[in-house]
Every structure is written in C-alpha cells, then in structure tokens.
C-alpha cells in the first residue's frame, strides 16, 4: 500500500517546495540564468543519485537506452519552469496560479488520455470537468 502513496507524497512535497522556490526567484535575475543554475544542480543530483542507486550499471549504457522523450522532456520542463516564473512575476498569486494550472492540466489530460491513449471518459469525469471549470471561474474572480 505504501508504494501507492509515497510517490504522491513526493509529488506534493516537491510541488510545495517548487512553488515556494519559483515564487521566491528574484525578479531581477534573468529567468534563463536562474534555470541554468537550477538544472546544473539537478544534473549533479541526478548524476550522484545514479551512482548510489544503479549498482554496477554503466551510465553511458543507460544514456544509450534513452529515446526522443528524454530530449523533449528537457525542453518541456524548461517551459514548465519558465511558465511558473513568468506567472508569478506577472502578478499571479501562489494560491491561484498553481490551482488554476493544475485544474486546467487535469481537464486537458482527461481529453488527451481519451484521444491518444483510448482511455474512456466516464460521466463522473465529465461532471468533474464541469465542476473544475466552475471552480476556475470562482477562484479567478
């Protein structure tokens, strides 16, 4: 059971810290300079963690197993980070920017899952999307 919950716990705690850090990024620093330092630290953490967790594996062999998704994910993550930095710099409050983005994302992913992965959209999900839309209107009034 714990294996179902600890990833969500990591996501929630990381997202809390992520929003605090993103909101606290100094407005006078170029966003891409800040992100460069961020990703340099992330690369070092990943590199060190690889050697702690990948007993006997060759990192270059593992690099060779990647595909296009690894490269696109790198670009997408920069877009995600930049979007939040710009949202906060342009006046979004932390308590509405994240909620607005995540509700919009959840609704969009229901559609993406149905179109690209043939997942079924249930009446409960449709009702949830309607409620989410109403929530977005209310939270941003």
In tens, the pLDDT along 19-36 reads 999 999 999 999 999 999
For the record, the structure tokens of 107 come out as: 């609704």
pLDDT band at 139 (very low <50, low <70, confident <90, very high): confident
E strands of 48-123, at which residues? none
CA distance 141 to 136: 9
Q: Quick one: how many helices (H) and strands (E) in the chain?
A: 6, 0
pLDDT attached to residue 21: 95
Mean pLDDT of 99-106: 91
Q: Which pTM value belongs to this model?
A: 0.85
């Amino acid at each position: 059971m714990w294996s179902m919950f600890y990833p969500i716990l990591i996501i929630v705690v990381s997202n809390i810290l992520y929003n605090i850090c993103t909101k606290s990024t100094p407005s006078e620093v170029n966003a891409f300079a800040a992100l460069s330092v961020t990703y340099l630290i992330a690369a070092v953490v990943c590199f060190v963690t690889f050697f702690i967790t990948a007993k006997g594996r060759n990192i270059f062999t593992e690099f060779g197993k990647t595909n296009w998704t690894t490269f696109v994910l790198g670009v997408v993550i920069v877009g995600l980070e930049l979007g939040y930095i710009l949202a906060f710099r342009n006046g979004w409050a932390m308590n509405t920017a994240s909620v607005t983005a995540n509700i919009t994302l959840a609704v969009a992913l229901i559609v993406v899952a149905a179109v690209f992965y043939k997942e079924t959209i249930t009446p409960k999900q449709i009702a949830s999307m309607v409620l989410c839309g109403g929530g977005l209107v209310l939270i941003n009034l």
